[in-house]
A and B are shown apart, each in its own frame.
Chain A
Amino acid sequence: MAYFVYLFMVGLVLGMAVVAVNLSPYFAAFGLVVVAGMGCGVIISFGGSFLSLVLFLIYLGGMLVVFVYSAALAAEPFPESFGTTGAVLYFMGLVGVVGVFAILYIEEGSGLGGCSSDEVMGMSSCVTEYDGMSQMYGPGGFLLVLCAWVLLLTLFVVLEMTRGSSRGPLRSV
Chain B
Amino acid sequence: MSPYILAILLFSLGLGTTITFSSTHWLLAWVGLEINTLAMLPLMAQNHHPRAVEAATKYFLIQASGAAVLLFAGVINAWLTGQWDIHQAAHPLPIAIITLALSLKLGLAPLHSWLPEVFQGLNLTTNLILATWQKLAPLALMLQIQPPHSSLLIFLGLMSTLGGGWGGLNQTQLRKILAYSSTAQLGWMILVVQFSPSLTTLAILVYVVTTSATFLTLKLNKATNINMLAISWAKAPALMALTPLVLLSLAGLPPMTGFMPKWLILQELSKQGLPATATITALTALLSLYYYLRLTYAMTLTMFPNNITSTPPWRLPSAQLTLPLAILALAAISLLPLTPAAMALVAL
A contact set with B: CB distance below 8 Å: 143, 146-147, 149-150, 153-154, 156-157, 160-161, 163-164, 167-170
The answer, among A149, A153, A169, for a CB contact under 8 Å with B48, is A169
Distance between B2 CB and nearest chain A CB, rounded to angstroms: 9
- Which listed residue (B31, B46, B50) contacts A150, Cβ 8 A? B31
Q: Which of B32-40, B92-100, B290-298 contacts A (4 or more CB under 8 A)?
A: B32-40
Query: B255 near A: Cβ within 8 Å?
Result: no
Interface residues of B in 262-312 (CB under 8 A from A): none
Against A, the Cβ 8 Å flags (1 = close, 0 = not) of B70-100 are 0000000000000000000000000000000
Complex interface: chain B residues within 8 A of A146 (CB): 19, 31
- What are 13 sample pairs from A and B whose C-beta atoms fall under 8 A apart? A150-B35, A153-B8, A153-B12, A153-B35, A153-B38, A156-B8, A157-B38, A157-B42, A160-B5, A160-B46, A161-B45, A164-B48, A168-B48
Chain B residues with CB under 8 A of A161: 41-42, 45, 53, 56
CA separation between A166 and B54, bound complex, in Å?
16
Within the complex, the shortest CB–CB distance from A169 to chain B, in Å, comes to 4
Residue of A nearest to B8 (CB): A156
Q: How far is the CB of B91 from chain A (nearest CB, A)?
A: 16
> Which parts of B1-41 form the interface with A (CB within 8 Å)?
1, 5, 8-9, 12, 15, 19, 28, 31, 34-35, 38-39, 41
Which A residues are CB-close (under 8 A) to B56? 161
Residue pair A156, B34 in contact (C-beta under 8 Å): no
- Interface residue from B39, B48, B50, B53 paired with A157 (Cβ < 8 Å): B39
Q: Is B49 an interface residue (CB 8 A)?
A: yes
A170 to B50, CA, bound (A): 8
- Chain A residues with Cβ below 8 Å from B38 are 150, 153-154, 157
Q: On chain B, which size bracket covers the interface?
A: 20 to 34
Partner of B41, one of A157, A167, A169, A170: A157
Shortest CB-to-CB span from B344 to chain A, Å, is 34
Are B53's CB and A156's CB within 8 A? no
Q: A150: which B residues are within 8 A, CB to CB?
A: 31, 34-35, 38
For the complex, give the distance between the alpha carbons of A126 and B1 in Å.
52
Whether the Cβ atoms of A156 and B31 lie closer than 8 Å is no
Option from A143, A154, A156, A170 in Cβ contact (under 8 Å) with B28: A143
Contacts of A168 in B (CB 8 A): 48, 53
- Taking the closest CB of chain B, its distance from the CB of A125, in whole angstroms, is 21
The answer to whether residues A169 and B31 also contact, given A154-B38, A156-B9, A160-B42 and a CB cut-off of 8 A, is no
- Give the residues in chain B near A164, CB-CB below 8 Å: 48
The answer to whether A153 and B45 touch across the interface, beta carbons within 8 angstroms, is no
Report chain A residues within 8 Å CB of B41.
Answer: 157, 161
Inside 8 A of A163's CB, which chain B residues have their CB? Answer: 48
